[in-house]
A and B are shown apart, each in its own frame.
Chain A
Amino acid sequence: MTKMDISRRTFIHTAAAAGGGMILGFSIPGISPALARSVMPEGWKDPAGGVEVSAWLTIDTDGTVTVRVPHTEMGQGALTSVSMFIAEELDVPWKDVKAVFASANRHITQGEEYVNMSTYGSNLVRNRHPHILQAGASARERLKEAAALQWGVARSAVTAKQGVLSSGGNKGTYGEFASAAAAVSLAEEPKAKEYLDWWLLGTDVPRMDVDIKTDGSAIYPIDAVVPGMVYASVMSCPVPGGRLKSYDFNVIKDRPGVIQAVALTQVKDKLGRTDQMSGIAVVADTFYRAKTALELMPVEWDLHAGIGLSTQSMEAEAQGLLGMDAEHVEEVRGDPRPILAASPADKIVTADYMRPTESHVCMEPAAALVSITKDRVDVWSKTQSVQGTLMLVADQLGRPPSEVYCHGTSQGGGFGFGSAHPAPRQAAEIAQAVGRPVKVIWTREEDIAQARTRPPVWGRFTAAIGSDGLPTAMHARTVGSSQKPDFADRVIVDQHYSVPNYRFERHAVKSHIPIGYNRAPGANSNGFLIEQFADEMALAGGWDPLEWRIKMTEGNERWQRVLAKMKEVCGYTTDLPKGVGMGVAVVEAHNATVGACATVEVTKRGALYIEKVHIISNTGYVINPRNAHEQNFSSVVWELSHALTGGLDIQGGRITNGNLDKYALMRMPEAPVVESSWAMSHDGWWGGFGETSAPPTPPAVANAIFAATGKRVRSTPIIKHDLSWS
């Protein structure tokens, strides 16, 4: 570890931008150098010095380029992807590139230089690439301009390549011209390169933060420490929406280390998705003492009226609704009902599907540390947006955002949960109440009970099959949760098969269970419905399911590419011995068209082995195939976890799964082999890889199970189905 020179570091602002200057970093008063390494915004690696060419990067005299990454690193490769974009345009050797987390405080106080620091929806590569590439290109052109001025030549006569500027006999390193470049204003910003000119993007680059995640040195929010810090264990009303009625601190006040109990105020969050529920916290000098004391303290709740809600009550309501006309109707292509009514029964296909409530269960539960002083507030939190969390804590404390610093750290998973919890609010409220820095850690039980869930969805699909075996009409009716009825309807409404008469209806069951985003949010649930029904339509018409998809998406370039590649590389066939099956599915979501081809084996006694899932991605472009493949197997395991053994149970208005003993997730022995192939359109639209391979996987597996056994698994978890055959 490099020693930190505290004296060189001031709180936040770098030295003047014009003319460049030393990067002064972001140290925090009262923190030892060793800890500072852990907790600074740049904290995942020792910060580099160098000259600031722009808010995005510094260049050191030895050629080291340090990229400030605005986005959250939760394993998806944000540090690497942003740095690759910058290095591509800047044109520097990859070995010279380092990454640090950018400052959210600088972003909100200095003109939103990073445009948008949030990190979800596979948006980093998909939607942020234009301005990140621009930042790299802009720095390159300013270096060229600085050299051109010194050498008395036109900028166009200067070449910038691999960290070296040259023109005729003149030559210099980026580092030599960094200070001058920082002072350059360009009359016009350069355009980003065409993808055919890429030298780094599109190549296999190992993620940059792997080494610190093999020796325990990576720091996560749960690991952050500041002097004088105490710990809080929290419990919100187990029935969401209920309120704390009473608690008896006297029972626990003499326990070792116990400091205080703090009632948590209900806060409706105008910033969205992070409402703080009414609850209670116990503060102690260690987390385990706080947790134990909270468990022993008598607490009474005013439970919410939703106490009558259960898995069974929602199922009964949904089944009733599936048989009724809905108010929300989208006649996508006319009204199929007359055709369906006139079709003979043997030309009608109809099926009901269901997927239950699911949770994220990030390996790192929600945790947040808030330190409040007169001058500033420091925050380390599980988050997918340091900018959003900064604003949240400013709002909670009534402090100007300019006084709040939310620090970048590694994140132990995100999956949409990252920013959708109130832990930083809780830590802020408790820290204010006890007058000391407070770290809140959620127990796994609290994490499962309080995380905003992926809502359940039900669907009934009906189609008429014409004389050519292709559907002539289709009707889809879904039931979602009243908390967010339209939860990714789009995958069904905008289904890409050219059924001539297609109508969509939607109902909602009454529910008070809060809804959140969950790695490819609704596309997972809805993809499972529509892509199994696609198979059912194909087979009813005597079509091969892959050929049917090719036929039904004629003229759709994105899909045709994926399906053609699938046909080429997956070896898909329906001609397999009983007990072995292949299944395909394609889902378009988050601007990506992704196919999955699954191979399964089912024993006569019904044991399921998923041997392989082959993912075919059309995300427009692939900037790092190695990481894209890693995201593919990550997404496959993610969604198969839910589809095979997941499903949250709701009883008495609360989630009752408790902990991982009652919410089973995929483990090594069940994990399939995952292969990846690309079918990129390269036509100007960009998708992402963070989640887009999850949705097609469960329906491909379900279709493969049908091929193997003749049994349809129209609901999850699949483990609840009897797959035995004879």
Chain B
Amino acid sequence: MSFQLNINGKTHDVDIEPETPLLWVIRDSVGLTGTKFGCGIAQCGACTVHVDGKAVKSCSVNAATAVGKQVTTIEGLGADGQHPLQAAWIEHTVPQCGYCQSGQLMAAAALLAKSPKPSDREIDSAMAGNICRCGTYTEIKAAIKTAAKIG
């Protein structure tokens, strides 16, 4: 089945079963590989993207549900110039292996969009769905605070 997806402000024609998870359409059909596969069951958050500004685990939503909506991936996060979170991530040298960091950044960006000065508890809660096997959590938290100009 053919349908159109708007990803990072560009319209993409996709011809695939509509129940295909958004993750695999982004990666394999559209060719944006910054969004990662980690578990396939919405447990690790490596696949986090924004759909109409909300953080979504793209491995666990059908691509068809994103039709008519604005999908943003890591490649589109800094579309208007480097996002403050990306600058903070570099300042704190957050990524180690880096594989989960697209998802971490997208989860953090959705948090700051909703709550520009999040409390520690809000940060923990918003980021608890994103696993980092390199254990960069304290640096992620510090970078979020830097981007939010907290402390």
The answer to the question of A286 belonging to the interface, with a C-beta cut-off of 8 Å to chain B, is yes
Chain B residues with CB under 8 Å of chain A are 16-17, 20-21, 24, 27-29, 31-41, 43-44, 46, 73-75, 77-78, 86, 89-90, 93-102, 105, 123-125, 127-141
Smallest Cβ-Cβ distance to A519: which chain B residue: B133
Q: Which residues A276-310 have CB closer than 8 A to chain B?
A: 286-289
Asked whether, in the complex, the Cβ of A361 is within 8 Å of the Cβ of B16, the reply is no
The answer to the question of A427 belonging to the interface, with a C-beta cut-off of 8 Å to chain B, is no
The answer to the question of A376 belonging to the interface, with a C-beta cut-off of 8 Å to chain B, is no
Asked whether, in the complex, the Cβ of A215 is within 8 Å of the Cβ of B33, the reply is no
Contacts A412-B36, A634-B136, A665-B131: A209 and B28 contacting too (C-beta < 8 A)?
no
Name which of A76, A220, A413, A666 has the most chain B CB atoms within 10 A of its CB.
A413
Asked whether, in the complex, the Cβ of B128 is within 8 Å of the Cβ of A669, the reply is yes
Taking CB atoms, residues of chain B closer than 8 Å to A219 are 33
Q: How far is the CB of A45 from chain B (nearest CB, A)?
A: 14
Taking CB atoms, residues of chain A closer than 8 Å to B34 are 215-217
Smallest Cβ-Cβ distance to B103: which chain A residue: A363
> What is the CA–CA distance of A203 and B102 in the complex, to the nearest angstrom?
29
Asked whether, in the complex, the Cβ of A410 is within 8 Å of the Cβ of B138, the reply is no
The answer to the question of A74 belonging to the interface, with a C-beta cut-off of 8 Å to chain B, is yes
Taking CB atoms, residues of chain A closer than 8 Å to B124 are 668-669
Asked whether, in the complex, the Cβ of A444 is within 8 Å of the Cβ of B38, the reply is yes
Q: In the complex, given contacts A443-B40, A630-B96, A666-B137, what are 9 additional A-B residue pairs having Cβ atoms less than 8 angstroms apart?
A: A74-B97, A75-B96, A256-B17, A286-B20, A286-B29, A287-B28, A411-B97, A633-B138, A633-B139
Q: How far is the CB of B60 from chain A (nearest CB, A)?
A: 12
> What is the CA–CA distance of A635 and B135 in the complex, to the nearest angstrom?
7
Smallest Cβ-Cβ distance to A448: which chain B residue: B39
Q: How far is the CB of B14 from chain A (nearest CB, A)?
A: 11
| Option from B43, B90, B93, B137 in Cβ contact (under 8 Å) with A668 | B137
Taking CB atoms, residues of chain A closer than 8 Å to B95 are 75, 209-210, 213-214
Contacts A363-B131, A412-B99: A216 and B74 contacting too (C-beta < 8 A)?
yes
B contact face: mostly helix, strand, loop, or mixed: loop
Asked whether, in the complex, the Cβ of B44 is within 8 Å of the Cβ of A210, the reply is no
Smallest Cβ-Cβ distance to B89: which chain A residue: A214
Asked whether, in the complex, the Cβ of B127 is within 8 Å of the Cβ of A361, the reply is no
The answer to the question of A157 belonging to the interface, with a C-beta cut-off of 8 Å to chain B, is no
The answer to the question of A130 belonging to the interface, with a C-beta cut-off of 8 Å to chain B, is no
> What is the CA–CA distance of A464 and B136 in the complex, to the nearest angstrom?
43
Asked whether, in the complex, the Cβ of A206 is within 8 Å of the Cβ of B93, the reply is yes
> What is the CA–CA distance of A636 and B135 in the complex, to the nearest angstrom?
8
How many contacts A-B (CB < 8 Å)? Answer: 180
> What is the CA–CA distance of A725 and B17 in the complex, to the nearest angstrom?
56
Q: How far is the CB of B137 from chain A (nearest CB, A)?
A: 4
Contacts A287-B24, A363-B38: A215 and B74 contacting too (C-beta < 8 A)?
yes
Name which of A363, A415, A633, A667 has the most chain B CB atoms within 10 A of its CB.
A363
Asked whether, in the complex, the Cβ of A413 is within 8 Å of the Cβ of B133, the reply is yes
Q: How large is the interface on A (under 10, 10 to 19, 20 to 34, 35 or more residues)?
A: 35 or more
* 9 A-B pairs (CB sep. < 8 Å): A214-B105, A215-B75, A216-B34, A287-B28, A634-B136, A641-B133, A660-B44, A668-B123, A669-B128
Asked whether, in the complex, the Cβ of B16 is within 8 Å of the Cβ of A661, the reply is no
Asked whether, in the complex, the Cβ of B137 is within 8 Å of the Cβ of A637, the reply is yes
Q: How far is the CB of B80 from chain A (nearest CB, A)?
A: 13
| Option from A207, A216, A665 in Cβ contact (under 8 Å) with B73 | A216
Taking CB atoms, residues of chain B closer than 8 Å to A222 are 33, 36-37
Q: Which residues A198-239 have CB closer than 8 A to chain B?
A: 206-207, 209-220, 222-223, 225, 231
Smallest Cβ-Cβ distance to B120: which chain A residue: A669
| Option from B74, B89, B100, B141 in Cβ contact (under 8 Å) with A210 | B89
> What is the CA–CA distance of A289 and B21 in the complex, to the nearest angstrom?
11
> What is the CA–CA distance of A583 and B10 in the complex, to the nearest angstrom?
55
> What is the CA–CA distance of A678 and B44 in the complex, to the nearest angstrom?
33
10 closest A-B pairs (Cβ-Cβ)?
Answer: A216-B34, A637-B135, A213-B98, A412-B99, A75-B96, A75-B97, A213-B95, A216-B74, A223-B33, A660-B43
Asked whether, in the complex, the Cβ of A363 is within 8 Å of the Cβ of B96, the reply is no
Taking CB atoms, residues of chain A closer than 8 Å to B130 are 667-668
Contact with B along A414-428 (1 / 0, CB 8 A): 110000000000000
Asked whether, in the complex, the Cβ of B37 is within 8 Å of the Cβ of A231, the reply is no
Taking CB atoms, residues of chain A closer than 8 Å to B100 are 363, 412
> What is the CA–CA distance of A362 and B127 in the complex, to the nearest angstrom?
19
Name which of A74, A77, A223, A361 has the most chain B CB atoms within 10 A of its CB.
A223
